[in-house]
Amino acid sequence: GQTAAVLDCKSIAKDIRTQIAAHVCKLKAAVGTSPGLAVVLVGERRDSHTFIRIKLKACHQVGISTFVRQLPQHCTEDELLGVISSFNDDPSVHGIIVQLPLPQHLDEERIINFVSPEKDVDGFHPLNMGNLAMRGREPLFIPCAPRGCIELLLRFGIEITGKKAVVIGRSKIAGLPTSLLLQRHHATVSTVHSFTKNPKQITCEADIVVSDVGIPNIVRGDWLKPGAVVIDMGTNLVENPCSRHGSSVTGDVCYEEAIKVVSAITPVPGGVGPVTISMLLSNTLDSAKRAFR
């Protein structure tokens, strides 16, 4: 039977947004302007369009202004850099996100480098990522999904210090910065990725398992130690003719198997995703506050 607590992340995401909305109001009253988030979207990827729609809606809910620039799939790197440059220079923009992945012909590294580190609310700029990696330094922004993951562990009272954590995946968006952030919180962190031999052997040892792979159901029940805590960062859009949008979202973890083994798990949908979005709002608010200090 089921033994796991299913962590209610939606109410946490909502609590955080209520707090942010109050701070946005205060800032507006004090300085006469709202925080502003600029969103750059290249091409027609369905998942990217879905994520952007969700991010924009969340901004509107809390009173953050949004500026959207959509570029065609075949735009040039210079066009994209030009858009970023104008947002870098725009004082009503406090945060800039370039939705990833970008089309193949664009140099992702060069583009991320071009976003002002002071407006890098995704936390992907090497200055922010580098400071995250180095103990004793403070990045201006911590990437949203890793922040969401830690926020959930803290709010559910799950001890991190001294625990064995395994992060499955090493993406710049989630896996890598989550490993770095868990280390900052004094976990003993292992990373499992596509070249890892016998990943199950490593994940089985973990008190905390974080998955950021992008493949539905890759993490099976027998990958998990009884009593472990599972944070499923997978946000995989899968075809589902029965659902209203023709697709539905599913995680990396085989949920039905995991709940029989672990002590707590985040569901997908309604897990880390909404909290990650709350962290984007929080990063944007922090940036606006710094701008008016």
**Residue ranges in contact with ligand GUN by CB under 6 A:** 97-100, 122, 144-145, 173
The yes-or-no answer on residue 122 being catalytic is: yes
The yes-or-no answer on residue 99 being catalytic is: yes
Residues 6 or more apart in contact with residue 194 via CB below 8 angstroms: none
Catalytic residue among 2, 8, 10, 55: 55
- Measured from the CB atom, the residue of 100 and 133 that comes closer to ligand GUN is 100
Catalytic residue among 122, 207, 232, 252: 122
How many Cβ atoms are within 10 Å of 7's Cβ, its own excluded? Answer: 24
101 preceded by a cis bond (ω within 30 of 0): yes
- Tokens (6 digits) for 265: 């798990």
How many Cβ atoms are within 10 Å of 55's Cβ, its own excluded? Answer: 22
- Tokens (6 digits) for 232: 């499923």
CB of 197 to ligand GUN, least distance (A): 28
Comparing every residue's Cβ against ligand GUN, the nearest one is 100
Query: Which amino acid, residue 56?
Result: L
Catalytic residue among 99, 207, 212, 286: 99
- Tokens (6 digits) for 138: 């403070």
- Helix ranges (H only) for the chain are 9-31, 46-62, 77-89, 108-114, 126-133, 144-155, 175-184, 199-203, 255-258, 272-291
CB of 204 to ligand GUN, least distance (A): 28
- Measured from the CB atom, the residue of 122 and 207 that comes closer to ligand GUN is 122
- Tokens (6 digits) for 183: 């280390």
- Measured from the CB atom, the residue of 125 and 163 that comes closer to ligand GUN is 125
Cα distance between residue 176 and residue 189, in whole Å? 11
- Measured from the CB atom, the residue of 203 and 283 that comes closer to ligand GUN is 283
CB of 98 to ligand GUN, least distance (A): 6
CB of 55 to ligand GUN, least distance (A): 8
The catalytic residues are 55, 99, 122
